[in-house]
């Protein structure tokens, strides 16, 4: 039988079942990155070690708040949680604070976070291209910042 | 993709970067050979999670953004065809694309801000589609579906892809991407039906191209 245009049914589910992470761990998806936490706190949110925050979204805890580049968000109640003598950062509470949508699969303990809305706000006002980061086919990281000083055409296409 | 390689070679300008991004959950297996056949020298990205469509709020392919030296978008979200193409044959055939986009692009690369094809920040901002909470959540759901697919969890993959489609029904990307993983493919009856529905509702399958033939 001739294959229909743009038909790759064999690619629908070509993979063997394999766990996303070991039992008790948690995984976060954010802007193409996949970060697995070997250690998390207990509770409804996603409690990670404060030192792990940077690996997810570039933010880090500083005396003045939760900061990324020149943005600092003052610490609020519910972001830092003490449990058994350890301090945890609630990534879900932080997303709620930023108005950052997410979808969670609780059974698998995977959180998929959308972009932080504030990072896109400029585009809608002054047409400045938002920062982004993707890898080319050779594995080289392409960032918006790398394109400065040149004209760029970014064009999407697909096999379909 | 060979058509973009030709345009890139014709432009031959070291201060112009062409980034072609394949929005393909099938990944290298489907997009790689098409890229390779074009013998491309431009930047090639296989974007399984449709990150770039999400960055610029695109809902269909091919779509594009022109970005100037300062990082400002000067045109966005148009059906980005480098020439006129025909899809299908006989009664089912229809033409798509145009022959005015490439000359406009070349004019911009040559003349920069002085090009008549450069749009103001106000017009560009108006042309960027709204990407609210539901659409953003749809992106997150789509990526979650892709992760479960990569880990062989069929039921969860299907369920999150369906969630993405429900949360962002305007995304032709999500709709047709899903069709690629069926026997019918992305250009079959389901696609044709959607296209007709779109037009009957007066919606743009692509936003009309605001470039006049010179």
Model pLDDT for residues A84-97, shown as the tens digit of each residue: 899 999 999 999 99
The pLDDT-based confidence of A129 (bands split at 50, 70, 90) is: very high
- Between positions 28 and 87 of B, the ones with CB within 8 A of A are 28-32, 34-35, 43-47, 49, 51-56, 58, 61-74, 76, 80
Per-residue pLDDT at A126 exceeds 70: yes
Which residues of chain A lie closer than 8 angstroms to B128, CB-CB? 123-124, 127
Are the beta carbons of B45 and A137 separated by less than 8 Å?
Answer: yes
Which region holds residue A128: left if phi is over 0, alpha if psi is between -120 and 50, else beta? beta
Within 8 A by CB and 6+ apart from B189, the residues are none
**Mean pLDDT value across chain A:** 93
Model pLDDT for residues B55-77, shown as the tens digit of each residue: 999 999 999 999 999 999 999 99
Within 8 A by CB and 6+ apart from B119, the residues are B74, B75, B127
Structure tokens at B108: 């911009």
Distance, CA of B72 to CA of B67 (rounded, Å): 5
CB atoms within 10 A of CB B63: 27
Are the beta carbons of A137 and B73 separated by less than 8 Å?
Answer: no
Specify the pLDDT at position B81.
77
The pLDDT-based confidence of A4 (bands split at 50, 70, 90) is: confident
Residues B4/B20, Cβ–Cβ less than 8 Å: yes
Q: Which residues of chain B have pLDDT under 50?
A: none
Per-position DSSP letters for A137-153, written without gaps between them: TTS-EEEGGGGTTSEEE
Interhelix angle B172-180/B189-200, rounded to 10 degrees, is 170
- Nearest-neighbour CA in chain B from A158: distance (Å): 5
- Nearest-neighbour CA in chain A from B180: distance (Å): 5
Q: Where in chain B is the domain with CATH 3.40.30?
A: 2-127
Specify the pLDDT at position B186.
87
Domain B2-127 sits in CATH 3.40.30:
yes
Specify the pLDDT at position A130.
94
pLDDT average, residue stretch A146-151 = 96
In this prediction the ipTM stands at: 0.95
Model pLDDT for residues A61-73, shown as the tens digit of each residue: 999 999 988 789 9
CB atoms within 10 A of CB A63: 7
- Between positions 80 and 139 of B, the ones with CB within 8 A of A are 80, 105, 108-109, 112, 121, 124-125, 128, 131, 133, 136-137, 139
Which residues of chain B lie closer than 8 angstroms to A16, CB-CB? 152
Helices (H), A40-143: 53-57, 91-98, 121-126
Per-position DSSP letters for B4-69, written without gaps between them: HHHHHHHH--TTEEEEEEE--TTTHHHHHHHHHHT---SEEEE-TT-HHHHHHT--SSS-EEEE-T
Long-range contacts, stretch B98-103, CB < 8 angstroms, 24+ apart: B98/B209, B98/B211, B99/B213, B100/B209, B100/B211, B100/B212, B100/B213, B100/B214, B101/B209, B101/B211, B102/B7, B103/B214
Of A36, A2, A156, A95, which is closest to residue B136 (Cα–Cα)? A95
Phi, then psi, of A12 in degrees rounded to 5: -60, -50
Strand pairing category for A133-135 and A141-143: antiparallel
- Nearest-neighbour CA in chain B from A85: distance (Å): 33
Specify the pLDDT at position B213.
67
pLDDT average, residue stretch A81-85 = 92
Within 8 A by CB and 6+ apart from A41, the residues are A47, A48, A81, A83, A86, A88
pLDDT average, residue stretch A50-55 = 95
- Of A6-10, A148-152, B205-209, minimum mean pLDDT range: B205-209
Specify the pLDDT at position A159.
85
Specify the pLDDT at position A157.
93
């Amino acid at each position: 039988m001739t294959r229909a245009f743009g038909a790759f049914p064999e690619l629908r589910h070509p993979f063997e079942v394999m766990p996303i992470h070991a039992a008790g761990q948690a995984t976060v998806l954010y802007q193409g990155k996949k970060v697995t936490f070997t250690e998390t706190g207990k509770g409804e949110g996603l409690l990670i070690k404060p030192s792990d925050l940077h690996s997810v979204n570039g933010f880090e805890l500083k005396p003045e708040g939760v900061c990324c580049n020149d943005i600092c968000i003052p610490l609020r109640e519910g972001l830092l949680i003490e449990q058994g003598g350890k301090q945890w950062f609630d990534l879900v509470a932080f997303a709620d604070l930023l108005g950052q949508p997410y979808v969670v699969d609780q059974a698998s303990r995977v959180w998929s976070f959308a972009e932080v809305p504030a990072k896109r706000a400029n585009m809608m006002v002054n047409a400045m291209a938002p920062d982004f980061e993707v890898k080319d086919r050779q594995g080289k990281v392409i960032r918006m910042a790398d394109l400065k000083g040149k004209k760029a055409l970014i064009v999407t296409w697909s096999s379909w | 993709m060979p058509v973009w390689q030709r345009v890139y070679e014709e432009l031959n300008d070291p201060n112009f970067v062409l980034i072609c991004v394949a929005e393909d959950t099938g990944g290298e297996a489907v997009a790689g050979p098409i890229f390779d056949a074009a013998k491309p020298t431009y930047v090639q990205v296989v974007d399984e999670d449709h990150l770039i469509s999400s960055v610029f709020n695109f809902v269909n392919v091919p779509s594009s953004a022109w970005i100037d030296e300062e990082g400002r978008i000067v045109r966005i979200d148009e059906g980005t065809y480098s020439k006129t193409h025909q899809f299908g044959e006989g009664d089912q055939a229809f033409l798509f694309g145009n022959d005015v986009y490439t000359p406009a692009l070349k004019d911009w690369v040559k003349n920069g801000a002085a090009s008549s094809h450069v749009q103001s920040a106000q017009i560009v901002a108006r042309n960027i589609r709204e990407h609210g909470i539901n659409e953003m959540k749809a992106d997150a759901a789509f990526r979650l579906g892709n992760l479960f697919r990569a880990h062989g969890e069929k039921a969860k993959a299907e369920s999150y892809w369906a969630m993405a489609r429900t949360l962002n029904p305007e995304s032709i990307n999500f709709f047709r991407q899903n069709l690629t993983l069926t026997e019918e493919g992305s250009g079959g009856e389901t696609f044709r039906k959607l296209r007709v529905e779109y037009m009957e509702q007066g919606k743009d399958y692509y936003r009309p191209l605001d470039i006049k033939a010179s």
